[in-house]
Every structure is written in C-alpha cells, then in structure tokens.
Copies of this chain bind each other. A is one copy, B any other.
Amino acid sequence: MAVYTEVGDEALTAFVAEYELGQMLSCKGIAEGVENSNFLVRAERGEFILTIYEKRVKPADLPFFLGLLLHLAQRGIPCPLPLTGRDGAALRQLMRKPAAMFTFLDGVSLRRPGPQHVAEVGRALARLHLAGADFALRRPNDLSVDGWRRLLADTLARADEVRPGLAAELSAEFDGLAARWPRELPVGVIHADLFPDNVFFLGDRLSGLIDFYFACNDWLAYDLAVCLNAWCFEREGEFNITKARRLVAGYVEVRPLTAQEIAQMPILARGAALRFLLTRLYDWLNQVDGALVKPKDPLEYLTRLRFHRRAGGPGAYGIG
C-alpha cells in the first residue's frame, strides 16, 4: 500500500514511449500492492499500471511472474497482461529498478464479500489452476514447510513478546504439520495469496485477479485452503461455513477435487494459517521505523490456526 520509488517526469515519459500507448496524459502513484511501487498511467490508448519492483521481489523470479501473467491472460484469466515494448521486451528498467507495464483492470476489492462473491472466487481459482496447467516455467513455494522452518527460527526467540506461550504453540504446530504435510497431491501453478485485496469485483461479477508475486508451483488444493482462510472468516474470527461451502462449490464446478484433496483439506488449511501467521509475526517483530505500511495483526491467524486444528475432518468446512 505505498509508493516507494519517486519517478521524475522525464524518466517516466521516456519509459512510456517504449510502448505503443500514444501520448501519456497523467501518471499517479497509487496505494496498491505492498511489495512494489505502482502507478496508474493514463495515455491516449487507455489506462495502464506501471509497476516498479522493489527489493522484496527477487529479480530472478520476474520472468516466472511476467511469463505467468502473459500465459494466464492469453487463456482468459482476468489478470494484468504485461505489455511488450517496441523491442518486444516486457521486463525493462526504470530508476535502475526492474519495471513493467500492464493492462488496467476495472473493479474494486471488497471489504465485506458475501457468499456470492466467495463462490466467484472459487470458480476463478479453479479456472486459474486449469489455465496454468501447461505453463512451462517452475518456481518452488518458498513459503511452504522449509520456509515456515526458517520463519520460525527467525521469530521464535521473540514470539512471546506478542503473546505469552506463542513460541511453544508455534513450535508444536510446526512439528505436527511438518510430519503430516501431504506428500502427493495434484500440483500446478497456484496464486498462493488470493486475499480480498487481490480480487476485484464489478457488482457481483469478479473482474480481476492481481498481485501474483507469491505465485509458485505447489498443491492446487493448498491454494483453496489459503482461500478458506482468506475469505471464510468473519471480523471477530468466526468461521462462516456458508461461505466455505460456496467457495468449494464454485471451485468444483470448474475443477473437481480428488478424494485425497478433500481428505487433506484440514491439514492444508492449518498449513495456510501457519504460513500467514509466521509472515505476519515476522513483519510485526521487524517493523521498520517510518515504514509506510502498518503490519497486520498476526494473532488473527492464531485464531484460524486453532479452528483448523480442532476441525475433525473436511466436514468442518462443509466439504465432502
């Protein structure tokens, strides 16, 4: 939610001239995307998003991300399409940082999505999984079990500052999950961060999916488990089983789940909750003075983690 890099008008005009957009009419830094600087560019040919990649995105991962967006957009997924410049390149430099230009997606993200929106998210997620099936590049999920182990090591000593007993609970949870994490499920390209902030709607219709900078190859059902965490809990931490049913029903309309995927849903949901709990905890303990972004409360995910731990089976999510 911030603009980190300031861009002078001359550098900007030169950059935009690399694309066939006509004259640039305006450019505004926008408060979107936690990891990168984003600008809404208006030009004679329409609206576009200019992204400058800041240090949290590894340059080596950019061909995967940009290639994936191109691949998905060509298959009808409503995601930002990277534009290629006059030289045929989508990835170039601005202010000595990697940068790219994308199509603009209409729509607004919802603060309080209803069950009908969650069903749309399920359908869109399944379509994304099918469309990604023949994408050639690979990127491991660096926020799966090995990533949790690293985050745990980096946060354990101070976890009890956030809540007494948290360190012990996280350790036990990690050990349990590492031992029981699925070894064989259908794999593919997942979004891995499909939160309400990253989904646009026009009325009840889903109009855009954004922020693919955690996308990677992992269990497809894990992506659905992320969405169970992201879309199916209410403000005070209550699980909304109606939304969970609609999410999964929307998903299976497009891509049926296997029996294994259904059976593993509680453990996948626990893993997803641990992943967001650990990254939020890390950011909470490592706040940067004067940072533009206020870290999110990690303990929201402790509540969710405990819910999933208590879930007896997929029936707790209204599945199967």
Interface residues of A (CB under 8 A from B): 1, 3, 8-10, 12-13, 23-32, 40, 42, 47, 104-112, 200, 202-203, 289-292, 294
Contacts and interface: CB of A to CB of B under 8 A. Distances in A.
23 contacts: A1-B3, A1-B29, A3-B31, A8-B111, A9-B108, A9-B110, A9-B111, A9-B112, A12-B108, A13-B108, A23-B202, A23-B203, A25-B202, A26-B104, A26-B106, A26-B107, A28-B30, A28-B32, A28-B40, A30-B30, A30-B31, A40-B40, A42-B47
Question: Which 6 pairs from chain A and chain B are nearest by CB?
Answer: A29-B31, A8-B111, A25-B106, A28-B30, A3-B31, A9-B108
Q: What's the number of copies of this chain in the assembled complex?
A: 2
Contacts of A112: 8-10
A40 B290 CA distance: 25
Nearest to A111: B8
A194 to B, nearest CB: 17
A107 B25 CA distance: 5
A30 B2 CA distance: 9
Contacts of A28: 28, 30-32, 40
Given A40-B40, A290-B291, A108 B26 contact: yes
A12 B110 CA distance: 11
B291 A27 contact: no
Nearest to A47: B42
Nearest to A208: B26
Contact of A108 (B24, B32, B200, B289): B24
B9 A42 contact: no
User: Most chain-B Cβ atoms within 10 A of its Cβ — which of A31, A105, A109?
Assistant: A31
A30 B29 contact: yes
Contacts of A32: 28-29
B9 A109 contact: yes
A205 B133 CA distance: 50
A10 B111 contact: yes
A295 to B, nearest CB: 11
Contact of A26 (B24, B200, B289, B291): B200
